[in-house]
Homo-oligomer: A and B are copies of this chain.
Amino acid sequence: MSVDIATYVHDLAVAAKAASASLATASDEQRQEAVRAMAAALRNGVDSIVAANELDMSAARDAGTSAGLLDRLLLTPERVEGMAAGLEKLAELPDPVGRVLDHRILASGVDLTRVSVPLGLVAIVYEARPNVTADAAGICIRTGNACILRGGSLAYHSCAMIAELLADALEAKGFPREAVSMIESTDREATGELMKLRGIVDVLIPRGGAGLIQRCVRESLVPVIETGTGNCHIYVHESADFDKALNIIVNAKTQRVGVCNAAESLLVDRAVADAFLPAVVAVLHDHGVLIHGDEATCAACADAGFVEGDDYVAATEEDWGREYLALEMSVKVVANEDEAIAHINRYGTMHSEAIISEDVDACERFLDAVDASAVYANASTRFTDGGEFGLGAEIGISTQKLHARGPFAAEALTTYKYKLRGTGQVRP
């Protein structure tokens, strides 16, 4: 069985890679048309998609799946329409392929251009959100890449049906259907095999929880774009405007708690701790936030009459590195800005980090010295988002430094090549 799954995934990837060639040389218009045809195929196939989804839903219910997960898994006609509309939006994206990034005539007279080109074969591994199938395939085809997809096993039937409809649409437009290839196996080893295919798969993008991402980062021989984890800090400087600070903290912590750009840790400058801590713990408490506090913070919570264990707990070393994704926040007093910066660079995940300060020099120091993809002065970390940043359809938020950092979109699915046109030149 292990040999079978290895062969299956390998052969599927080789076929998908071969299919990528016809995408890479297709025109912008041809790729737009293909994506529009994919949208139409979803609309036309809505009944089959909903029927396939019912199989997944019923198995998931039998397995005692949580309500939250069931909701993510569910596909209704409205949600299918949403997927189709999403594809049509992708078709409208400006083409990231074929941009001339550089042009020069070499000393020898050879004409050099550096041109953006598709990556080739993009692997996307995700969990039980069947809509990612259309989204991922759409962005790959739009950018001239083939894709090999691996959905969560809970969504097996839904993903397979969507992928089949998309491949049919591609084929009808003259592209090889293997350009959208779905790994139709629930064997956990399939992902492991995919990660070995360096040289065939050009990039692997995991979209899912921290466990999936860390597995890819540790095991994959294929280059990975690491996404997702955000242990985001807000540092309240001694010169902070308290109203702004409270407003930003509430927004960053509580507006949506399950997202990677939500704040997880609050650092308060010692110079204003006595004045600010009572105010901030009161506001956090009002919003139902469980406080993991250092000594001073716990004292402020006790002074406010909060119940230890219910309203606040003493922070442990582990808390400084935690991404709660919940109504919880770690709170710590720091000696000064240097300590705040050092703390963030030690415990942060290079996602989004903010200072609240009316002192421009302190803000600039923070923006320079904190090592993260997005650094903020006096604004909420919640702005870190491809749409908000004006990048178009976001694929994810990269917490690595190479290739793509921060929110990334279609352009991250391209690389470049040097084209050199000569008339017989040789190197002297």
Residues of A within 8 A of B (CB): 21, 24-25, 104, 106-108, 110, 112, 119-120, 198, 202-203, 217-218, 221, 223, 225, 241, 243-244, 247-248, 250-252, 255, 345, 363, 367-369, 371-380, 382-384, 388-390, 400-403, 405-406, 415-427
Complex A-B: 24 CB contacts under 8 Å: A21-B345, A25-B369, A119-B401, A198-B217, A202-B401, A203-B402, A217-B221, A218-B221, A223-B401, A243-B424, A247-B426, A250-B426, A252-B426, A255-B426, A367-B421, A371-B417, A374-B417, A374-B418, A378-B423, A379-B421, A379-B426, A382-B426, A405-B416, A406-B416
| B419-A375 in contact (CB<8A) | yes
Contact, CB under 8 Å: B422 / A388: no
Q: Is the interface of A mostly helix, strand, loop or mixed?
A: mixed
Whether A424 contacts B21 by the Cβ 8 Å rule is no
Residues in chain B near residue A379, CB distance under 8 A: 108, 110, 420-426
Asked if residues A382 and B427 are in contact (CB atoms below 8 Å), the reply is yes
For the complex of A and B, the 7 pairs showing the least CB-CB separation, nearest first, are A379-B422, A251-B426, A244-B424, A382-B427, A401-B415, A402-B403, A403-B403
Q: Please indicate the chain B residues that have their CB under 8 angstroms from the CB of A425 in the complex.
A: 378-380, 383
Q: Are A426 and B373 in contact (CB under 8 A)?
A: no
On whether the beta carbons of A415 and B388 are closer than 8 Å, the reply is no
Whose C-beta in chain B lies nearest to the C-beta of A107? Answer: B388
11 new A-B pairs (CB below 8 Å) besides A252-B426, A382-B427? A21-B345, A119-B401, A202-B401, A251-B426, A363-B421, A367-B419, A378-B421, A379-B423, A383-B420, A388-B427, A402-B402
CA distance A406 to B114 in the complex (A): 10
- What residues of B have a CB within 8 angstroms of the CB of A417 in the complex? 371-375, 405-406
